[in-house]
Amino acid sequence: MQEQIQTSPEMELYFNEIDSKIKTEYNLANKAKKKGYDPEIKVDIPLAKNMAERVEGLISTVAPQIIGSGISKRILDLEKKYKAMDWKISLIIAEEIAKEKFCKFKDKKEAMEVGIRVGFAYHTMGTVASPLEGFVGLDIRKRRDGKDYFALMYSGPIRSAGGTGGSVSVLIADYVRKKMGYSPYDPTEKEINRIIREVLDYHERATNLQYLPSEKELAFLARNLPVQIDGDPTEKIDVSNYKDIERIGTNRIRGGACLVFAECLAQKAPKLWNRLSKFSKEFDLEQWNFLEEFLDIQKEVKAKGKINNAGEKITPNYTFIQD
């Protein structure tokens, strides 16, 4: 929890004066807004005294009912138990919002979606647009056996979260999925091949990725992820192969999905597993243990196969110079 700042009486007076004048200016601005000259009748930017309030304020733009619901206080309480910015806090707050412990939502899907957004916003300190514009939304779809699974919709602004942030958003969503009783994603071979082809097309025909995973890496991720990574089309060009797939709504290249696979999950897998392995059992996230095997595959691919030379102590990494 953020402790009260210890200051001299003079500094405390100074801070109180700033706070008072800000409130005065906000009241004046709101009165001006109410005259109807602007499309909005109130000031859009909420005030926040700490990061927890900033997170709450950010997501309130799509879920206004969370303001004053107790979410920011709960975040501060969790920071007492854990440490500030602990990944566990993102998971716990996302689950509790999804279960409507703070306020009600129009339906279960909205509750889970807002929970994911708040957990994601906490991880990114409430300072970037990714929880609103990078994570576009949650879609509930049917498995081949008729059970429901999670499809996460991403778009280009997921970049602003960084690779680790984007990866953690997937982890948060899967944690919510499991806690809410939804089944894991059951990818078909066509869906697996589609993302392989799409990432390669995105890199070759749209924009160079910072990290281009091999086909082997992409196939392994697509086959083992417990949620589907999807998104709106961001490019004007179609994917070169594997079109008209039932559970993928577009033939055009989905930049957000490509970024999450390549620059988030694949590129940041070592960091993701390093942190997650310490609490995956405690938080019932052992379905992510596949990352350990993925790192072995990645190491093998990066070095272009193990060099059978007893005198070779450092294997080469060609990944970032192959272009």
Q: Do both 96 and 140 map to the same domain? A: no
Q: Structural domain of residue 102, as residue ranges?
A: 50-127
Per-residue pLDDT of the chain (323 residues; tens, 9 = 90+): 344 567 788 898 998 899 899 999 999 999 999 988 888 888 877 788 889 999 999 999 999 999 999 999 999 999 999 999 999 999 999 999 999 999 999 999 999 999 999 999 999 999 999 999 999 999 999 999 999 999 999 999 999 999 999 999 999 999 999 999 999 999 999 999 999 999 999 999 999 999 999 999 999 999 999 999 999 999 999 999 999 999 999 999 999 999 999 999 999 999 999 999 999 999 999 999 999 999 999 998 877 655 544 455 565 555 555 55
| Total number of domains in the chain | 2
Q: Do both 151 and 293 map to the same domain? A: yes
Residue type, position 176, single letter? V
Q: Do both 186 and 277 map to the same domain? A: yes
Q: Do both 66 and 155 map to the same domain? A: no
**Structure tokens, 56:** 């709450």
Q: Do both 122 and 185 map to the same domain? A: no
pTM of the model: 0.88
Q: Do both 102 and 152 map to the same domain? A: no
- Does 26 map to a domain? no
Residue type, position 7, single letter? T
Q: Do both 156 and 120 map to the same domain? A: no
Q: Do both 98 and 220 map to the same domain? A: no
Of 94, 127, 160, the residue that ends a domain is 127
For residue 156, give the nearest of 129, 187, 175, 189 by alpha carbon: 129
Q: Do both 158 and 272 map to the same domain? A: yes
Cβ atoms within 10 Å, residue 137: 17
- Does 32 map to a domain? no
Of 127, 144, 175, the residue that ends a domain is 127
**Structure tokens, 310:** 């007893």
